[in-house]
Amino acid sequence: MHTMLVGQRSLATQRRGRHVSGSSAHPDRMAPDLAVALIYDYTQPGDLAVDPFAGVGTTLAEAVRGGRDAYGVEYDPGWVALARANLALARRQSGIGHGQIVRGDVTRLPAAPRRELRGRASLVLTAPPSSATMPVSPRSSARHNRVDLMDGITAALEECVPLLNPNGLIVVVSRSSRRTPVLLDAVAADLSLLAVRHAAYATMRAGRLVAGRHHVDGIRYDDILVLRPRRGRRP
């Protein structure tokens, strides 16, 4: 089994100079070293990477730093503003890739990206939200603007499938304890599971392991699910 070690540098070190101030308010950011490793594993320079749950834009910014193009969607306007600033920072630092983040509900992609990005993405790389429900745009009634997390992730992945090119992959990162719901979602969205990888982080302070909220014996594990649309589901 392949475990990616992405905690050799502390998260603070990984983020220094890569995230604008204020980004640390986001409770669930991806480790930049993990985003970089996955982007380099699954894309080439010039490719398009999409993050439907973009948060403060960690994956988008790392794609742009690596000379890829990036497109992201995020529901919360505050995170969108920070993601925009993080993307601008990455663009100033690398000067190669182009990134765009839009405020919206990824379970209902706006018509423009749906049309313009169709068949273009090499990678959908994302860490879905973690609460029991997630916000969506009101459908029939303004009172029903949250859906069960699993339904929401399934809808989001289904919206992303048409954006993939014929070799495109979906890579979902989630804490190990959340694997089952994500897997169930993947199946519901009619995706094949190609690989399960793991990422391990250990936080060290003064030479000692520091136990965090999601750590087992001082180490936090994330599951990385590598998925692709089943045959017949291609756009």
Which residues, at least 6 apart from 172, have a Cβ–Cβ distance to it below 8 Å?
Answer: 126, 127, 128, 157, 182, 186, 224, 225, 227
Q: In the bound complex, which residue of the shown chain has the CB atom lying closest to ligand SAM?
A: 55
Residues 175-234, interacting with ligand SAM (CB under 6 A): none
Angle at 42 between CA 39 and CA 158, to 5 degrees: 95
| Interface mask toward ligand SAM for 76-105; x: CB under 6 A | x--x-------------------------x
**Cα-flanking dihedrals φ and ψ of residue 129, to 5°?**
-65, 165
| Interface mask toward ligand SAM for 52-71; x: CB under 6 A | -x-xx-xx------------
Residues 67, 135, 181, 212: which binds ligand SAM (CB under 6 A)? 135
Contact (Cβ atoms closer than 8 angstroms) between residue 170 and residue 160: yes
Select 30 or 150, whichever has its Cβ closest to ligand SAM: 30
Decide if residue 43 touches ligand SAM (CB under 6 A). Answer: no
Decide if residue 136 touches ligand SAM (CB under 6 A). Answer: yes
Decide if residue 127 touches ligand SAM (CB under 6 A). Answer: yes
What is the Cα gyration radius of the chain? 17
Select 129 or 218, whichever has its Cβ closest to ligand SAM: 129
Tell me the number of residues near ligand SAM by CB under 6 A: 24
Question: Considering the complex, what minimum distance in angstroms separates the CB of residue 207 from ligand SAM?
Answer: 28
Select 123 or 127, whichever has its Cβ closest to ligand SAM: 127
Which residues, at least 6 apart from 126, have a Cβ–Cβ distance to it below 8 Å?
Answer: 50, 51, 52, 53, 54, 59, 170, 171, 172, 173
Question: Considering the complex, what minimum distance in angstroms separates the CB of residue 75 from ligand SAM?
Answer: 4
Question: Considering the complex, what minimum distance in angstroms separates the CB of residue 141 from ligand SAM?
Answer: 17
Residues that bind ligand SAM (CB under 6 A): 26, 28-30, 53, 55-56, 58-59, 73-76, 79, 105-107, 127, 129-130, 134-136, 152
